[in-house]
Amino acid sequence: MFHATILEPLEADQWFVDSIDLREFVATARDIRARTKHNPALTLTELEPHFKTLLTKQNWLPENFAQPNPNSAMGGGIGQWLLYRAQDRSLTIFSLVIPPGSTTPVHDHLAWGLIGLYKGQLEETRYQRVDNGYTQESAVLELIEVQQQKRGDIYHLLPPDGDIHAVKATTIFAPSVSIHVMGNDIGSILRNQYDPEQKSVRSFRSGYSNISPKG
């Protein structure tokens, strides 16, 4: 199943965290994207060292953007806090906060992305879709790998084969916090949530914890 969600441009870039470190990273990301927009794999490769630098700095993310959200659209108290969104919606940066023991649904992203662990520990389970995708509400996934992620680790998202996963916080006393850099407005579009055991798929919109559903 594939969703082509058409979104209107915003009036301007949106900044929800005013940080010199974040602004410098966004400027770099936009420059790299402009040069490599026809090669997403190259975009990820060139952007990764700059992202790693951002992750090493522990004073730019306000504490309120590192909290769970009991009203999460993703369930499990998972907070998805928008930090930056480009006017044309071609770049978003958000923090994903997963309480201890909680797991995201199995989901896709429909765009390139970088995910870096800012605090805590995660277990990422990756899948690949192996059916033809023609049957509505049905999907067959194959388990690819399970990886343990620690602070500072970065992994790539690249459709169609490297885009489906679930993530679990393996910390005990505090949430895990990961930073996502995405090549779309991921919280606003329709994308896919999977149940590997039931071989089913449905549409969902994750939204952002600090934005109204119509935002």
pLDDT single digits (tens) 184-205:
999 999 999 999 999 999 999 9
Domains and their CATH numbers in the chain: 14-204 (2.60.120.10)
Residue 214 above 90 pLDDT?
no
Nearest to 94 by CA among 211, 189, 182, 4: 182
Taking only the tens place, the pLDDT of each residue in 12-26 is 999 999 999 999 999
User: Does 3 have pLDDT greater than 60?
Assistant: no
For the chain, strand residue ranges (E) read 14-15, 79-85, 92-98, 106-107, 113-119, 122-129, 141-149, 154-157, 164-169, 176-182, 191-195, 200-204
**Can you tell me the distance from the alpha carbon of 154 to that of 147, in angstroms, rounded to the nearest whole number?**
11
Closest CA to 158 of 13, 39, 65, 34: 39
Residue 215 confidence class, pLDDT cut points 50, 70, 90: low
% residues pLDDT > 70 (the chain): 97
